[in-house]
Amino acid sequence: MNELIRVQTEVNYLKQNKQINDEELIRCRQELQVVYKRLSAAEAVNVQLTTAQEAFQSECEQLRSAAIDLAAAEQQLQDWQLRSEDWHIREQKYINAAEKLNHIQIENSRLNTQLKLEREAFEEKLALLNEARNSLSNQFKSLANDILEEKSKRFSEQNQASLSQLLNPLHERMQGFSQLVQHTYEKEAKERTTLENELKHLQQLNAQLHCDAKALTDALAGTQNKNQGNWGEMILEKVLENSGLQKGREYVLQASNTIIDEFGRQRRLQPDVLVNLPENKQIVIDAKTSLTAYVRYTQATDAASAEKALAAHIQSVRHHIKELSSKCYDEIDGLNTLDFVFMFIPVEPAYLLALQQDNQLFDDCFQKRIMLVGPSTLLATLRTIAHIWRSEQQNQNALTIAKEGGKLYDKFVGFVNTLEGVGKNLDQAQGQFQKAMGQLVNGRGNLVNRAQKLRQLGIQSSKNLPEYYQKGEEDEDELLLATAESPSE
């Protein structure tokens, strides 16, 4: 009977323990759910961190793209330098050709002078030779007559042998004279042939020089106005290339525009060059070539011809000014030009000659809002504009760097804040995990001890707890370390 009561008591005790264990199990499940929620929050923070890393990688890709664009710009700069070198080579060839033509003209003048001197010397020699021949012939005739007259008196007294002895010296002298005359004529014939060949060569060279000079004159100052204009535009483009401005960005060639005039008709305007300035402003440059009268002025041989050609040259420049002033470039839609237009004269001496000889020319141009420029003055102006553009680009780059730096700093601060939030969430999750592990293995009545007691009481189980859970109450840090290193089942 006592045994039955003891068993009944143990059963009641086990039931009470089971009820307590069930309540503890429910509470542990609730705490595990809280831990799971914390882990879910940590995973969400991890997703945010991944998103931030992707954004950072996107920024890196943008920087790589900018580096590629920079490399392409450097390649374009190298291409421009190659084209510039090609223009330098062409310019040097043109200068060499002009120098060669000048040298040929000087050589032709020298050869003509030499030919004239040799021709005069030859004519003098020929005159002396003819005079000597006539003198010798007269002397021979006089001597022969004297001998014949002298000997004829004695002819009857002397025999044929004596006559032959007397005539033999005369015969020898006549043969010597004949040989001398023959040698002189042969030498003269050779010299005449050589001189004729030299004359033919000089005539051919002179004809070639005349053709070359005429072609060059026609190309620059003749009736071929289209070639003259193209040459002026080529010089203008060369000045632009040497100014440091970039084609297509700081200046545009032959930009075609259309305006409506006061009569409602469309007019097509195509300035030679539009030079862009900061703050969306432009400068218009038109090349006007006045060479025909200027070349006549440089080639004039008398004061009257020079004065007439000079007046024609100034009149040609004024005609170009009047023609340019009639073009309403400031009426082009979207074009914000300055108050004046540059008129470019590609030949510096022609430009300076017009300004020096016509003191009113500059003031008249200014009143018509036209600025006369030559290669040197235009190059100085364009290089000043290039310097302004470099300063503007440096200012723009500084503003861009400041803006991008601000954006990068804001992005960095956001990333740091996000990372701090991730750390806080991880710390909270770690604290909850340690608390749950403490309830599982530490203190009196922990779940591990109670579960072990149930097994000792005889419950059946197919699995065993890890060894470090079966040692009883151990050092908390060692147990937590072992728990962290053990693989999850």
**With 50 as the cut, is the pLDDT of residue 400 above it?**
yes
The more confident residue out of 344 and 57 is: 344
pLDDT at 127: 74
Rounded CA gap, 89 and 96, in Å? Answer: 10
pLDDT band at 137 (very low <50, low <70, confident <90, very high): low
Q: If you average pLDDT over every residue of the chain, what do you get? A: 73
Query: How do strand 370-373 and strand 341-344 relate by DSSP bridges?
Result: parallel
Query: pLDDT tens, 222-238?
Result: 545 666 677 788 888 88
Mean pLDDT computed over 322-350: 78
**With 50 as the cut, is the pLDDT of residue 474 above it?**
no
The answer to whether 365 and 321 are in contact (CB under 8 A) is yes
Q: What percent of the chain is predicted at pLDDT more than 70?
A: 66
- The answer to which of 83-87, 120-124, 221-225 has the lowest mean pLDDT is 221-225
pLDDT at 12: 78
pLDDT band at 473 (very low <50, low <70, confident <90, very high): very low
The answer to whether 474 and 481 are in contact (CB under 8 A) is no
The answer to whether 321 and 364 are in contact (CB under 8 A) is yes
Query: Distance from CA of residue 297 to its chain's centroid?
Result: 39
pLDDT band at 196 (very low <50, low <70, confident <90, very high): low
Query: pLDDT tens, 261-284?
Result: 555 566 677 788 888 888 888 888
Q: pTM for the complete prediction?
A: 0.42
pLDDT at 223: 47
Reduced to 3 states (helix: H, G, I; strand: E, B; else coil), residue 434 is helix
Tokens of 201: 């060569």
Mean pLDDT computed over 331-360: 81
Rounded CA gap, 271 and 365, in Å? Answer: 18
Q: For residue 66, give the nearest of 338, 397, 449, 347 by alpha carbon.
A: 397
The more confident residue out of 231 and 153 is: 231
- Name every residue whose Cβ is closer than 8 Å to that of residue 135 and which is 6 or more positions away in sequence: none
Count other Cβ atoms within 10 Å, centred on residue 268. Answer: 8
Q: Where are the alpha helices (DSSP H) in 326-374?
A: 348-357, 361-367
Query: pLDDT tens, 11-53?
Result: 777 778 778 877 878 888 788 788 778 878 877 877 887 887 7
Helix axes 225-242, 375-441, angle to 10 degrees: 40
Rounded CA gap, 482 and 440, in Å? Answer: 14
pLDDT at 489: 43
pLDDT at 147: 57
**With 70 as the cut, is the pLDDT of residue 215 above it?**
no
Tokens of 381: 């102006």
Tokens of 376: 């040197």
* 3-state secondary structure labels for all residues of 388-418: HHHHHHHHHHHHHHHHHHHHHHHHHHHHHHH
Query: How do strand 370-373 and strand 266-269 relate by DSSP bridges?
Result: unpaired
The CA-based dihedral angle spanning residues 420, 422, 428, 430, taken in that order and rounded to the nearest 10 degrees: -120
The answer to whether 35 and 432 are in contact (CB under 8 A) is yes
Query: pLDDT tens, 62-79?
Result: 878 878 888 887 888 788
Query: pLDDT tens, 91-120?
Result: 777 677 767 766 776 776 777 777 777 777
**With 60 as the cut, is the pLDDT of residue 252 above it?**
yes
pLDDT band at 259 (very low <50, low <70, confident <90, very high): low
Query: pLDDT tens, 378-389?
Result: 888 888 888 888
DSSP bridge pairs for 378: none
- Name every residue whose Cβ is closer than 8 Å to that of residue 325 and which is 6 or more positions away in sequence: 368, 369, 370
